[in-house]
Chains A and B, each alone.
Chain A
């Protein structure tokens, strides 16, 4: 190797450092904090002052002994299933309707309308929806009563049996637009457009084109939407905080809200860290399929 080659290499290394260093700093902060939280969950930090004495599984045992933890876990699973599945299916149909121009003329308006909720903060939409749900004077019950459907009027988020489902509905409404946007984009590859054209020439029905041609060929897009929604559903906090604050009692509580309550209200910091680790573990499980898929694509 000649000296000039070495100089070039050095210059390249410096160039790489420009990009790698910020990434490294970012990773260090992110995973450093993660490791810190992980350790804290095994420490004995109870009260306002930090206490890093190792306590083993003490606070994890405490956690699984709490009824509230299991209620939260059940609610988080409800969010994961009911927050994601209907959103993806609905988004797929709406994206397809927009794509084939079934509703000509208003397509642009509809797209804006569907996407608009996604542009708002959960704090805003949560407040709006809690006004709609308000059982006495809220929009929904007032409308139902006006058309004589009094029997359908309900307590919505104030009824412990159904409250979580009404919260999930807000999530579906809010994330639908994002799903539509991503799926519509994934319809637009050249190969796919050609396949759709030839299928149409063959006389395939529009529904058949959707199920036989489009869906099998946009797995990447669907996986992105599903992963994104799963993670958003898993870390849900704001909707619950704003609309019900976990109530009635703790019927609508979720892990993220309990983590907040345990850490800052109850001053059980080790417990709060443990709950954060449970959320992390669930997130990890969720992104594995996506990672595997992404890696497969990478090596293809």
Chain B
């Protein structure tokens, strides 16, 4: 065998591999362009879904969702692409890549409000007007919830729950022992904090964790809501308040500063669940957190109404519930639009909402479901309140009235303030954020009441 003959196969293999790769690439691209176009033959009964409920407690809620789908449509084959890590951070990275490449999953989890708007603005979702008419979903959910999923007059997603942000959880046994009433205003909160500090000097009365930053904005939101009322709250996040000269915003920061000596000092190192853990471990007595904390407390063996209580905070001048929903929509160019619409009908049904929401921690999106379905008195009461006062719901920090770009930056500033309070600097900083991120323009879509 000559020398040349032994070499030829190597180079041929290389050339072959390169050609094969090119062919595969072109074929893949062609297949990509064919998706969603000209669906001549019957659609496969398949549903590709993207969600971020992978952590403990949430995984069980996801299973409950899919069980409901299976019960109604046993023929739909489910393809799950959950991204581990939770909180939706890695989820958004992968989803963004899929969307930019024009290879969307059929449906994906998104919060209502500003996040939803970013997908609608990108042209990635199909309006669901006919589905809403068909199942009369607008009548089944509170008006503010419908508004939170309606962009430019069209509903784009189906909400399956509502999380409430402004809840103050407290150690019930300690409150009973000290004869304290759960606080529903700033003055009561401060008085309770002082009383707890006097009785338990080693305690930090108010637990807080700001590692994820938004937790700090939750506390600030409650203070703003009490000082300014609901109309002010909406105007503020619609960018219609001149923060630089606004006495209310400054007063809220002053109040947060007054609270600081009673707040857990090393909050920057804790995530939201760890901050609730402070209450369980007895390091703190209270924490302001969303309805998802109920699931956390229960997982630590704490019983609602026995070990811990919860109140809406604040309740003056009005008892407003700041909320955001988890939702699913239909992708533009979805490979399986029929199966997706079937899925969305299940999402809208009590068959899915009851088992899922009870497990995951929010309220039912539908107000025609019996609040007695909740095992805990806290959510029974909240759901009842929503039922008779649907107008008291306002989009919260997660749902976000203002654009997401603003909200992210705002959380950082709020978290920085709780670590190192500088009222004048923070007022200036926040005021700058409103113009930098063009909030007035980006939040114009939101209507309340």
Contact = CB atoms under 8 A, between A and B. Distances in A.
Nearest to A7: B4
B14 A249 contact: no
Nearest to A62: B436
Interface in B174-219: 210-213
B14 A248 contact: no
Contacts of B211: 244-245, 247
B7 A250 contact: no
A157 B269 contact: yes
Nearest to A66: B436
A115 to B, nearest CB: 29
Interface in B384-412: 404-405, 408-409, 412
Interface stretch (B233-241, B310-318, B353-361, B413-421): B413-421
Given A49-B122, A249-B416, A250-B412, A14 B283 contact: no
A265 B408 contact: yes
Nearest to B413: A249
B121 interface: yes
A160 B269 contact: no
B404 A245 contact: no
B99 A265 contact: no
Contacts of B18: 21
Given A21-B18, A48-B99, A266-B408, A248 B419 contact: yes
Contact of A68 (B14, B283, B405, B412): B412
B419 A160 contact: yes
B419 A251 contact: yes
Interface stretch (A98-106, A130-138, A285-293): A130-138
Contacts of A160: 268, 416, 419-420
B10 interface: yes
A67 interface: yes
A133 B94 CA distance: 32
B268 A267 contact: no
Interface string A64-99: 011110000000000000000000000000000000
Contacts of A266: 404-405, 408-409
B265 interface: yes
A268 B405 contact: yes
Contacts of A246: 412
A264 B92 contact: yes
Given A135-B269, A136-B283, A160-B420, A17 B14 contact: yes
B417 A249 contact: yes
B100 interface: yes
B4 A11 contact: yes
Interface string A100-117: 000000000000000000
B73 interface: no
Contacts of A18: 10-11, 14
A158 interface: yes
Nearest to A135: B266
Contacts of A248: 210, 268, 415-416, 418-420
B408 A15 contact: no
B122 A244 contact: no
A98 to B, nearest CB: 36
Given A48-B99, A48-B121, A155 B417 contact: no
B101 to A, nearest CB: 9
Given A160-B420, A245-B211, A249-B413, A65 B436 contact: yes
Contacts of B268: 157-158, 160, 163, 244, 247-249
Contacts of B14: 17-18, 21
B269 A15 contact: no
A50 interface: yes
A47 interface: yes
A49 B99 CA distance: 8
A261 interface: yes
Contacts of B96: 48, 264, 267
Interface string B2-32: 0110010011001000100000000000000
A128 B417 CA distance: 28
Contacts of A155: 265-266
Residue from B4, B121, B266, B408 with most neighbouring chain A CB atoms (10 Å): B266
A199 B92 CA distance: 62
A246 B210 CA distance: 11
Contact of B7 (A11, A62, A133, A265): A11
B119 A68 contact: no
B429 interface: yes
A152 B428 CA distance: 35
B267 interface: yes
Given A264-B89, A264-B96, A48 B212 contact: no
B77 interface: no
Nearest to A249: B416
B123 interface: yes
A46 B283 CA distance: 43
Contacts of A14: 7, 11
A268 B406 CA distance: 11
B303 interface: no
B118 interface: yes
Given A67-B429, A158-B269, A245-B212, A47 B122 contact: yes
A160 B79 CA distance: 44
Interface of B: 3-4, 7, 10-11, 14, 18, 89, 92-93, 96, 99-100, 118-119, 121-124, 210-213, 265-269, 283, 404-405, 408-409, 412-413, 415-420, 429, 436
24 contacts: A18-B10, A18-B11, A46-B405, A48-B121, A48-B124, A49-B124, A62-B436, A135-B265, A157-B269, A158-B266, A158-B268, A244-B269, A245-B211, A245-B213, A247-B210, A249-B413, A249-B416, A249-B417, A249-B419, A250-B416, A251-B420, A264-B93, A264-B96, A267-B405
Given A11-B4, A155-B265, A245-B211, 13 more contacts: A21-B14, A21-B18, A49-B121, A49-B124, A135-B265, A136-B283, A158-B267, A244-B268, A247-B419, A249-B413, A251-B416, A261-B408, A266-B405
What are the 4 A-B residue pairs with the smallest beta carbon separation, nearest first?
A: A249-B416, A248-B419, A49-B122, A48-B122
